[in-house]
Amino acid sequence: MTEIIEIFRKEADRCAEEIKKHRSIHVVSHIDADGLTSAGIICTALERGNFEYTTSFVKQLDENALDTIADESHELVIFTDLGSGMCEHIKSRGINAVISDHHQPQGTLEFHLNPHLFGANGSYELSGSGSTYLLASALGKNRDLSSLAIVGAIGDMQHLKMGQLTGINRKILEEGVKGGYLEFKKDLTLFGKQTRPIYKLLQYSSDPYLPGLTGDEDACINFIHSLNVRFSQDERWRRWIDLEISEKQKIISGLFQYCLNSGIPSYKIERLIGEVYVLLKEREGTEMRDASEFSTLLNATARYDHADIGLAVCMGDRENAYENAKKLLAEHRQNLVNGLIYVKENGVTQLENIQYFDAGSQIKETIVGIIAGMSSTVVENRDLPIIAFAKTDAGVKVSARGTQDLIRRGVNLSEAMSTVSAEVGGAGGGHDIAAGATIPENAKEEFTRKLNFFIGEQLRRKVNSG
């Protein structure tokens, strides 16, 4: 890995030299947490280097988006967390570009930073924000931006495959720790330790799913009561960060015992404890203190057409932008609840190897994937991938979500979505555990049938090879 990083850094130096030839730069990035942190990293580095820059965010870098960018005649365009799949299209339009990405490359470009080009895996060894951090490091002294790179990696779920950040992500983490910006430690992995009341951590747990607790607020409150842990302090709900070590140990021991009594396999129970990532320069009790919560806050901005607010938070605005982001986060959470209610009331259609729901226009296409991932809390069968459909202006958005158990059994949703969407005239990709596609409106039935067959083949392949 050390050799790969050295080669990567040399290529980052070469890309940085190209950037330094230009004083006016346009940054194009993706609308998720990895995309926003990538933009935040490069824009901060450009600002520190006294470059003039503009930004734009896209849901998908397609030919129409590239036509718009080409028509604007920018001196130099830096694509972050996207672009690798469109190298030839970028060249054909004469766009002078630097790409900093981690998705599977297609075609070639002269200035192209991507872990796949250097023998590393972009699904779990380096995120888009990680690539961009290495580019920013080549532009100047920007080690403090390692925190944003880790937030982007966590938002991209790069830690799930190995249970912790690995590969080049790990090296970036170590740089951040050495600089006093980051801390990693073993702790409860449930979401919301900085900001949520303790019972909410259990109520919204989906991986692992806690039968009898997940989705049931009263049961979670009763469970905490049964452990003799105080709920409130100074008329305020206590959060995980408010608890004494002995109280945390009580809850963890109680949870482990509960899971054992519920018949949950030990490898799932072990996922309750894992590596978590803390941003030491952020105020305790805020979303930005925890990498996982920070990434969710960012998703709540860009997915509602307010990427500018998320970018401002990434670049240090802890006043107006942060307050606006919190309001969007509250709206985001309510939309997720409404989406889950929709799935619960309408149910899912179950086939042999997949289950799916079609939200039409009832769920915003930018959050339907998140709801698909959370749907394991309301569906009966948690042993099948969940596929979600939602209407878009460009056709139908398809989101697929799996679990570590499914990946272990041979499912690769990136491969499945990419292959099957292409067969019906669409396009897709992503990661083994989470992937997406856009397909024509009239192709849903054919797509569903083919995807069910394809994932069945993946499962059979694993069984036969085992």
pLDDT at 184 over 80: yes
Average pLDDT over residues 147-155: 97
pLDDT at 465 over 80: no
pLDDT over 90, % of the chain: 81
Task: Give tens-digit pLDDT for 200-220.
Answer: 999 988 777 888 998 889 999
pLDDT at 144 over 70: yes
What DSSP designation does 99 have? E
Q: Cα separation of 181 and 144, whole Å?
A: 6
Q: What is the pLDDT of residue 462?
A: 79
Q: What is the pLDDT of residue 460?
A: 92
Q: What is the pLDDT of residue 430?
A: 80
pLDDT at 235 over 80: no
Q: Which amino acid is at 91?
A: K
Q: How confident is the model at residue 433 (pLDDT cuts 50, 70, 90)?
A: confident
Domains of the chain: 2-178 (3.90.1640.30), 198-336 (no CATH), 347-465 (3.10.310.40)
Q: How confident is the model at residue 317 (pLDDT cuts 50, 70, 90)?
A: very high
Q: What is the pLDDT of residue 208?
A: 79
pLDDT at 303 over 90: no
Q: How confident is the model at residue 163 (pLDDT cuts 50, 70, 90)?
A: confident
* Residue in this structure with the two tokens 């209407």, named with its chain if needed: 391
Q: Which amino acid is at 120?
A: A
Q: What is the pLDDT of residue 466?
A: 62
Are 313 and 37 contacting, i.e. CB atoms less than 8 angstroms apart?
Answer: no
Average pLDDT over residues 418-436: 90
Are 53 and 41 contacting, i.e. CB atoms less than 8 angstroms apart?
Answer: no
Q: What is the pLDDT of residue 167?
A: 96
Residue 77 CA, chain-centre distance (Å), reads 24
E-strand spans in 322-462?
349-350, 355-358, 386-392, 395-401, 427-430, 434-439
pLDDT at 357 over 80: yes
* Residue in this structure with the two tokens 């408010």, named with its chain if needed: 242
Q: What is the mean pLDDT of the chain?
A: 94
Tokens of 394: 């460009």
Task: Give tens-digit pLDDT for 379-400.
Answer: 888 889 999 999 998 899 999 9
Tokens of 52: 């003039």
pLDDT at 230 over 70: yes
Q: What is the pLDDT of residue 130?
A: 98
Are 52 and 24 contacting, i.e. CB atoms less than 8 angstroms apart?
Answer: yes
Q: What is the pLDDT of residue 431?
A: 80
pLDDT at 149 over 90: yes
pLDDT over 70, % of the chain: 100
pLDDT at 88 over 70: yes
Q: What is the pLDDT of residue 12?
A: 98
Q: Which residues of 293-320 are buried (b: 16+ CB within 10 A; e: fewer)?
A: bbbbbbbbbbbbebbebbbbbbeeeeee
Average pLDDT over residues 355-370: 94
pLDDT at 74 over 80: yes
Contacts of residue 257, defined as CB under 8 A and 6 or more positions apart, other chains included, come to: none
pLDDT at 119 over 90: yes
Q: What is the pLDDT of residue 447?
A: 98
* Of residues 89, 131, 92, 87, the one with CA closest to residue 109: 87
* Of residues 432, 164, 161, the one with CA closest to residue 291: 164
Q: How confident is the model at residue 231 (pLDDT cuts 50, 70, 90)?
A: confident
Average pLDDT over residues 221-243: 91
